[in-house]
Amino acid sequence: MLEEPREFVFIILKPAALNDTKLADFIKQELLKYGDIKYVKQSVIVNKSIISEHYKAAKLSLWFPLVVNYLSGKVVQHFVLEFNSKKYSLLVDNKKYSFADFLRKQVIGSANLFKTKNYHIRRLALSKFSTFLLDNLVHCSANTQEALDEIRIWYKDCPIVVAEYETKASALSR
């Protein structure tokens, strides 16, 4: 029997999260409640061209040069997180979420800390680890297509990974 295609997102743990091993572990443990972590790349030094390509949709925003300059040359960790329906349901208050929306709205929370709730990872990290959040700790793609685009950027040296997620994205869109 073939396994149903699973929704997926692309995650980056940013420098502020990686500065504290316990904080990075906490974030990964929280994410593992909802999915399976695949293809972890640790200690990746961010290349300015990759981060520029990653955020190219925001190229005209005021924060684009700030985030590109901030992340360039810094160490991040990234991976793919695949939804696991055996671990969790994406139904909250009778509303069905996509995996990406669920993670962003119900688990990780807004990049703006004033818009986070007490149970969001970003707020929990602040209360548990008393960290000053210059950046927002974690990036999560907004949808499957964005995740696929980001996988193509960050895993371009791993064509097997790219091909796997192109296949999974195409199966999800049917």
Q: From start to end of the chain, where are the E strands?
A: 8-13, 35-45, 75-83, 91-92, 95-96, 138-140
d(CA 130, CA 170): 42
The reported pLDDT for the residue numbered 149 is: 98
pLDDT at 1: 44
Q: Which CATH class is domain 8-172?
A: alpha beta
Report yes or no: 53 and 170 within 8 Å, Cβ to Cβ.
no
First to last CA, the chain: 18
Q: At what angle do helices 144-154 and 159-172 cross, to 10 degrees?
A: 170
Domain layout of the chain by residue ranges: 8-172
48: its two tokens? 């300015």
In the three-class reduction of DSSP (H, G, I as helix; E, B as strand; rest coil), residue 1 is classed as: coil
Q: How far apart are CA 17 and CA 82, in angstroms?
A: 21
DSSP secondary structure letter of residue 77:
E
Residue 84: closest CA among 105, 99, 104, 100: 99
CA 34-39-45 angle, 5° bins = 115
pLDDT of residue 51: 97
Which helix (H) or strand (E) covers residue 172, if one does? helix 159-172
Yes or no: say if 80 and 147 are a contact pair by the CB < 8 Å rule.
yes
Encode the chain (174 residues) as per-residue pLDDT tens digits.
Answer: 456 778 999 999 999 889 888 889 999 999 999 999 999 999 999 999 999 999 999 999 998 999 999 999 999 999 999 998 887 778 777 788 899 999 999 999 887 777 888 888 888 877 667 555 545 789 999 999 999 999 999 999 999 999 999 999 999 887
